[in-house]
Amino acid sequence: MRVIVTGGAGFIGSAVIRAIISDTDFEVLNLDCLTYAGNPDSLASIAGNDRYHFSRTDIRDMSAVREAVEGFRPDLIMHLAAETHVDRSIDGPADFILTNVVGTANLLEAARAYWAGLDKDAKTRFRFHHVSTDEVFGSLGSEGQFSETTPYAPNSPYSASKAGSDHLARAWYETYGLPVVTSNCSNNYGPCQFPEKLIPLIILNALEGKKLPVYGTGENVRDWLHVEDHARALIAIATRGRPGETYCVGGNEERKNIDVVRTVCAILDELAPDSPHRPHSGLITFVTDRPGHDARYAIDASKIERELGWRPRESFESGIRKTVEWYLDNRSWWERVRAGAYRGERLGLAGAV
């Protein structure tokens, strides 16, 4: 099987490519334009594999997307390329609309044109997998979970742009018959995550003795999913999911943000006993909340478990320890990021009141 993965140098995309190369015999083309969040270092372990190929392609460039699709002739497109950082979407929403909405439309159109020219058997085999987020559903109260039938109610420019892309994917299935499958996941964490996100930001700030910023009172709840579990889920959905269907993927590991931060601090206290900043919890600092910050996310992942047999292998306790260990063992990876694309500054306060 020949697979195009868009955004394959990003956090989740690189985990998907590593899993494809290690667990299957598929050939992969990574389409990534290498923005601040795209990091070829995350693919170092498989970069020399003869089944891995890379094209520096911007999905906002329709002609480049068409050329890549027609040239590689995939059996499957896994679309993960996106602007994903909520705080950045508050400061600059235009990039999110262009990449997440226009870029997705470009990919769908390129895929449709390619698919229309395939023979009958190849048409039947082809899939377009659109990868999205649970944030399109908005915010939950103290009870309940998101499912595949939850109405959309996005609250940030990021989640609105992803909701728009989800609707495009559905429309290309319903209108043109393009065999599209969609997935919506909960919060990911694990190796190679860009350090603007909560867990790597807390780990790295703690190691450097910087403040550990917690939005509001830290009571916001997220369902945490280890990225390698998510990668396995995405491959299952892409290869065995039913066209026209949506699959929600979650870890069933709800935690308050403040509890996540305290857990990371406790693990660092244990694993970095020589740190001059112990106890690291003393660095916790509550800061102005993000505008429109959703209170709680939780995923009902029973459909993917029932239909595709997927379950997470990592508990939050096992996954977060492995994650902290990875950052401790891979200082060169994150030091290069901190020296260039992101230095730990606070984003997303534009328009705050």
Residue 349: per-residue pLDDT:
53
Residue 291: per-residue pLDDT:
87
Residue 353: per-residue pLDDT:
39
Residue 196: per-residue pLDDT:
87
Spell out the SS3 assignment of the chain: CEEEEECCCCHHHHHHHHHHHHHCCCEEEEECCCCCCCCHHHHCCCCCCCCEEEECCCCCCHHHHHHHHHHHCCCEEEECCCCCCHHHHHHCHHHHHHHHHHHHHHHHHHHHHHHHCCCHHHHHHCEEEEEEEHHHHCCCCCCCCECCCCCCCCCCHHHHHHHHHHHHHHHHHHHHCCCEEEEEECEEECCCCCCCCHHHHHHHHHHCCCCEEEECCCCCEEEEEEHHHHHHHHHHHHHHCCCCCEEEECCCCEEEHHHHHHHHHHHHHHHCCCCCCCCHHHHEEEECCCCCCCCECCECCHHHHHHHCCCCCCCHHHHHHHHHHHHHHCHHHHHHHHHCCCCCCCCCCCCCC
Q: Which domains occur in the chain, in start order?
A: 2-194+224-253+295-315 (3.40.50.720)
Angle 36-42-47 from CA coordinates, rounded to 5°: 120
Find the helix packing angle between 331-339 and 316-329, rounded to 10°.
Answer: 70
Residue 343: per-residue pLDDT:
47
Residue positions annotated with a catalytic role: 134-135, 158
Residue 122: per-residue pLDDT:
97
Count of Cβ atoms closer than 10 Å to residue 171 Cβ: 14
Q: Which residue ranges of the chain lie beneath pLDDT 70?
A: 340-353
Q: Is 34 exposed, middle or buried (0-12, 13-18, 19+ CB in 10 A)?
A: middle
Residue 350: per-residue pLDDT:
55
